[in-house]
Chain A
């Protein structure tokens, strides 16, 4: 039996990236710290994966200042939402064999 692995999106081949997209689809806009907390990651780990998703155009980044503290929030772009849903559909298809 041949699995259609190639139908899975390369951008989501790491569980951290899958996790980031999952959080961003369930919530409209999420701050860096909340994202880190819900996925239980370190700063550097999360930053590099989010950067990859940003580069792919799947995540939109908003940088703001609250008082003097920088506050970065992330949201899934329309493209990102579509790509993630396609990825989920591909996973389900694999399951059904």
Chain B
């Protein structure tokens, strides 16, 4: 028999695992996605009722969100603090929930820190398109192109995920492509923007989060007996 240290299969398996672990952030928890999705759905509902209350009872009809497309600059500026505050609160809450679940998984995996080199690379890869997209959409809102804001948010977020996916789990790539597709769809049917926003940021995160949770984290009774 070969001595254990020379076992080529064990060596190859270990090398593969090390290469994966050192270049990708694999501790991302699926429950982080579910949490962020719930936050996004709650935020969408709040936005919907805010817009209904602001614009619903006027002569334009009960159309809350679509009424926003016809607002004057003064009206949009009046609504901006609430909408910006809501968006920032959603981002903060989603990040907090995501960090809690991912930190929990990191602990369970026996890693000392969540903030590893791949995690930092992932954060940078996500942040650049996200910040650019956020500023771009803010300008769209201020420049009388409100109907492009939701498609823009979805497309930029999708691109950010696509960009970050090379440093983390493969599912993130498909989540990104889903967001891009929904963003482009929102361009075609601007009236359904808020609905598609909820679909992408809410149900998209929840769906992929559950998928990832089931694949990588669900406690299983039977242990794999590999080598």
Query: A-side interface residues toward B, CB under 8 Å?
Result: 3, 5, 8, 13, 15, 18-19, 22-23, 25-27, 30-31, 34, 37-39, 88, 91-92, 94-95
Query: What are 11 residue pairs bridging A and B, where the CB atoms are less than 8 Å apart in the complex?
Result: A5-B6, A15-B11, A18-B11, A22-B16, A27-B117, A37-B113, A37-B116, A38-B116, A38-B117, A92-B8, A95-B12
Pairwise interchain contact B22-A27, C-beta atoms closer than 8 A: yes
- Those 8 A-B pairs whose CB atoms lie nearest each other, nearest first: A26-B19, A26-B23, A38-B22, A22-B18, A91-B8, A34-B117, A23-B22, A94-B8
Q: How many pairs of A and B residues are in contact by the CB < 8 Å rule? A: 59
- Chain B residues with Cβ under 8 A from A3's Cβ? 2, 6
Q: Which residue of B lies closest to A94 (CB)?
A: B8
Query: B-side interface residues toward A, CB under 8 Å?
Result: 2, 5-6, 8-9, 11-12, 14-16, 18-23, 112-113, 116-117
Q: Which residue of B lies closest to A38 (CB)?
A: B22
Beyond A30-B117, A94-B8, is A37–B23 a contact (Cβ under 8 Å)? no
Contact of A22 among B9, B22, B117 (CB under 8 A): B22
Pairwise interchain contact A27-B23, C-beta atoms closer than 8 A: yes
Pairwise interchain contact B5-A15, C-beta atoms closer than 8 A: yes
Chain B binding surface SS class: helix
Pairwise interchain contact B12-A30, C-beta atoms closer than 8 A: no
Chain A binding surface SS class: helix
- Chain B residues with Cβ under 8 A from A31's Cβ? 117
Contact of B19 among A13, A25, A92 (CB under 8 A): A25
- Chain A residues with Cβ under 8 A from B12's Cβ? 88, 91-92, 95
Contact of A15 among B14, B22, B112, B113 (CB under 8 A): B14
Beyond A25-B19, A95-B9, is A37–B14 a contact (Cβ under 8 Å)? no
Supplied contacts A88-B12, A95-B12, 13 more A-B pairs, CB within 8 Å: A8-B6, A15-B11, A18-B14, A18-B15, A22-B18, A23-B18, A26-B19, A27-B117, A37-B112, A38-B21, A38-B116, A38-B117, A91-B11
- Chain A residues with Cβ under 8 A from B117's Cβ? 27, 30-31, 34, 37-38
Within the complex, the shortest CB–CB distance from B195 to chain A, in Å, comes to 41
Within the complex, the shortest CB–CB distance from B166 to chain A, in Å, comes to 12
Within the complex, the shortest CB–CB distance from A82 to chain B, in Å, comes to 16
**Bound complex: CA A37 to CA B19 (Å):** 13
- Chain A residues with Cβ under 8 A from B5's Cβ? 13, 15
